[in-house]
Chain A
């Protein structure tokens, strides 16, 4: 029953092998299919990559009431640090002019306030590094008037 000829035998003569081969041949012999399935995604990725290439990092505005913190944060090239009062800092945070307000709490560690719904706020929170970052506590400030009133 299974006397397969020598030249077309073994694995090659198995129906599964043949069906697989047929699928591969049918695919590779259709230039459109090969283009859309293989080359098009690569071209698309390259095109989008060129179009949205990352430029120089965005400068984020941050405020602080502490001269020490201001000095530390100025070492970060991506931050535009403005020293101001606590009220003005929170005000700037609320209306979006600043992405983050930093202050020093009683224990000498930094407290960062930022708006959780503002992506820039999270970015700014990630920027301060080094000594202060290791001791920092972060608090997100929601745009919720009652909460803001309490926080301020």
Chain B
């Protein structure tokens, strides 16, 4: 049990529906001060709705949200001064320069570093006097992050901060977020990139269809599926001739699934299962068209929980 002071965000039994679509269906969350909490889930899982309710941008249908010990409605003004928010997509004024944009956002907060200081922190010094319209996607996201940081927030909400960015820009942004984390600040992050959640988050809640289906540290979640390795293979003719039951009986195989002609199986003993699998396939006279193995990731946790991939729409 953790004391109330150590909890930056507490969400209890949160519900939100848009007409007949249930976006959030009874979510419970507890984010501790100083940690980076990741909400991982596919598009449409309700991550953004949940985070928007926590940010005070959307009103919940029911449920209780406590942010930094305060509540939306009664302490709205005080809360706004203490939160930093980076939305999924930020449309800043194209005509303003980076410095002018940050000075504008800085003026909204009673505390915080100088605009120039934040520009340096997000490595946009060269673009200080460049107009927003001329920035690349990654630079725009870093500017949006700078706008979230300029009020020296106690709690930072990042809603899919790296969606649509190239790998290099993504890594750059991750480094900035890690730096903020090292400064002991609390971060709530949503993402549908498992690498992102795995790298940045101390704890993760996996969401699907408005519900939290698993939670824990990345390591806990990965070990929860009880397999270190995953094997994926597909065979000729879409696997019509394949006897899956025989494959399932191979010693060391756990949780076998066949999705769209691709067979996925989990195992702890890769070195023994792969030769046995190849032997079984040649016995069945089925030709392999693809064979892959990899260590278990959060994606596999999601697949084993829902039978779907994170990126499935």
* Contact pick for B110, options A1, A8, A17, CB 8 Å: A1
Interface size band for A: 10 to 19
Q: Which residues of A contact B106 (CB under 8 A)?
A: 8, 13
Say yes or no for B263: interface residue by CB 8 A criterion: no
Q: Are B103 and A8 in contact (CB under 8 A)?
A: yes
User: B45 to chain A: closest CB distance in Å?
Assistant: 36
Between B107, B110, B131, the greatest number of chain A beta carbons within 10 A of the residue's beta carbon is seen for B107
Interface residues of B in 7-25 (CB under 8 A from A): none
Q: Which residues of A contact B131 (CB under 8 A)?
A: 29
**Given A25-B100, A26-B93, do A18 and B114 touch, yes or no (CB 8 Å)?**
no
Interface residues of A in 82-128 (CB under 8 A from B): none
Q: Write the A3-38 contact mask toward B (1 if CB under 8 angstroms, else 0).
A: 101011000011101110110011001100000000
Interface size band for B: 10 to 19
Q: How far is the CA of A5 from the CA of B107 in the complex (A)?
A: 11
Say yes or no for A2: interface residue by CB 8 A criterion: yes
Q: Which residues of A contact B114 (CB under 8 A)?
A: 5, 7-8
Q: Which residues of B contact A22 (CB under 8 A)?
A: 93, 96, 100, 104
Q: Which residues of B contact A18 (CB under 8 A)?
A: 103-104, 107
Interface residues of B (CB under 8 A from A): 93, 95-96, 100, 103-104, 106-108, 110-111, 114-115, 131
Interface residues of A (CB under 8 A from B): 1-3, 5, 7-8, 13-15, 17-19, 21-22, 25-26, 29-30
Closest 3 CB pairs of A and B: A18-B107, A29-B95, A15-B107
